Amino acid sequence: MAQALLWPLIECGQLSRQAVRAVVGSAASAERLAQAHDLAVGTDPAPAWQAPLVLLAVKPQQLAAAAAAAGAAALDGPPGGEGGLLISVLAGVSLERLALLFPGWRCVRAVPNTPALVRSALTGLAFAPAVAPRERQRVAELFSRVGEVHELPESQLDAFLALTSSGPAFVALVAEAMADGAVAAGLPRQLAHHLAHRTLAGTAALLFERELHPAALKDMVSSPAGTTIAGLRQLERLGLRSALIEAVLAAAERSRELA
């Protein structure tokens, strides 16, 4: 997720490569990323924790080590620049827990999704009370460079994550299944994937730009005794609607468990 955010911000000029210091877990990863993207990449976290803004995107099992590194860096002086703004993209890790692990930092929870890679992200933001209005604006502007931003109560972030961050995987599964169906019906594989992706993209654009309710679009396409209603009947019989509802609920519940 860090890379999905970082590369578009660099490409659009919001960040310069010289202003970014990346920290990864192994020397091999550091070398690969440094060569591929012309960045300062290392394995020592100490310099990063002297930056005015830190994007925390570690795996859950690495959180304690990150907090220890931040604490060790604090012994050398306060966080740099503007006093320490910490943006966490870790699922389920609350602002309260971040404040306990990273004392002295003003914490933000961000829930972006992978369409940030093509600047079509959805990002949910929740701020600790210590984050000043100008800093809230700065963070919102940063994420707005890669898509749409929503400031939410922290209690709504689990549902936001389930729909927007896990959602691309659910949509990708639907796209793959639709393409498989087209192959079964006689289309070549490459063409089937292309058409499935374009169908999803076009449908999403129509729903969004015309502000259509999904049911209205469904009814527009479904003529009496036609092909679409025959397919919809099968989807209802096999429980697609219920399966997608339960998938979103399961993802939200898992995010709460991670807390």
pLDDT at 82 over 50: no
Percent of the chain with pLDDT over 70: 97
Tens digits of residue pLDDT in 53-77: 999 998 878 888 889 888 887 766 5
Each residue of 4-46: pLDDT tens digit?
888 888 887 878 888 888 888 888 888 888 887 788 888 888 8
Give the total residue count for the chain. Answer: 259
Which one of 132, 154, 176 terminates a domain? 154
- Domain around 18: 2-154
Q: What percent of the chain has pLDDT over 90?
A: 65
209 and 112, same structural domain? Answer: no
Which of the two residues, 232 and 60, has the higher pLDDT score?
Answer: 232
Report CA-CA distances (Å) from 209 to 158, 168, 213, 251.
Answer: 27, 20, 11, 28
- Tell whether 143 and 176 lie within a shared domain: no
The pLDDT of residue 22: 85
Kindly state whether residue 235 falls inside one of the protein's structural domains: yes
pTM: 0.88
Beta bridge mates, 56 = 88
Task: Say which CATH number the domain at 97 has.
Answer: 3.40.50.720
- The letter for the amino acid at 38 is D
Helix (H, G, I), strand (E, B) or coil at 149: strand
- DSSP state letter for 244: H
Residue in the structure block whose two tokens are 């993207």: 37
Inter-helix orientation angle 189-209/167-185, to 10°: 130
**DSSP 3-state of 251:** helix
Residues 171 and 148 in one domain: no
- At 81 the pLDDT is 39
Distance CA 234, CA 65 (A): 50
pLDDT of residue 77: 56
